[in-house]
């Protein structure tokens, strides 16, 4: 049975041993939207101010790992009283369902938004079956 939406699939697979879309404390500040199309899921992560070389995306077994390691810019002439805009290294991990094609995962960074495309495997693509007359 195909999932009707990723959110329903997330609810069904909310067991942390099988699925890890629920953020851990260290990565809750990375806001993420999840969009489903017929062919894929798209993860859109808000990473304002980061450059592509500060983001590392990897797949390890069944997990998609998005690690952020921002450059630390120090200015000796500036004395901070309070600093909340200082970027910190963090990562966000997603447990991938079996039907995601790991060889076609792609990512684009534009205007502070990282878009990761997770294509559904061929077996999970919508198909039309032609009826043959005999």
Cβ–Cβ under 8 Å, residues 34 and 103: no
Of 36-40, 69-73, 116-120, give the lowest mean pLDDT range: 69-73
Q: How far apart are the first and last CA of the chain?
A: 30
pTM more than 0.85: no
* Full set of structural domains in the chain with CATH: 6-121 (2.60.40.790)
Query: What is the C-alpha separation between 105 and 42, in angstroms, rounded?
Result: 10
Assess whether pLDDT exceeds 60 at residue 25.
Answer: no
Query: What is the C-alpha separation between 115 and 15, in angstroms, rounded?
Result: 25
Q: What is the pLDDT of residues 89-119, one digit of tens each?
A: 889 999 888 889 999 999 999 999 999 999 9
Cβ–Cβ under 8 Å, residues 70 and 87: yes
Q: How confident is the model at residue 24 (pLDDT cuts 50, 70, 90)?
A: very low
Query: Of how many residues is the chain composed?
Result: 134
Sheet of strand 113-119, all strands in order from the earlier edge strand to the far edge: 32-36, 40-46, 113-119, 106-110
């Amino acid at each position: 049975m195909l999932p009707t939406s990723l959110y329903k699939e997330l609810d069904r697979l909310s067991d942390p041993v099988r699925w890890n879309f629920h953020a851990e404390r260290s990565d809750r500040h990375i806001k993420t939207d999840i969009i489903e199309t017929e062919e894929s899921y798209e993860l859109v992560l808000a990473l304002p101010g980061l450059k592509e070389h500060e983001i590392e995306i990897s797949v390890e077994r069944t997990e998609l790992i998005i690690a952020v390691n921002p450059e630390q810019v120090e200015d000796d002439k500036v004395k901070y009283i309070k600093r909340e805009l200082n970027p910190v290294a963090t990562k966000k991990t997603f447990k991938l369902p079996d039907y995601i094609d790991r060889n076609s995962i792609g990512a684009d960074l534009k205007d502070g938004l990282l878009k990761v495309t997770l294509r559904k495997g061929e077996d999970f693509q919508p198909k039309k079956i032609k009826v043959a007359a005999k």
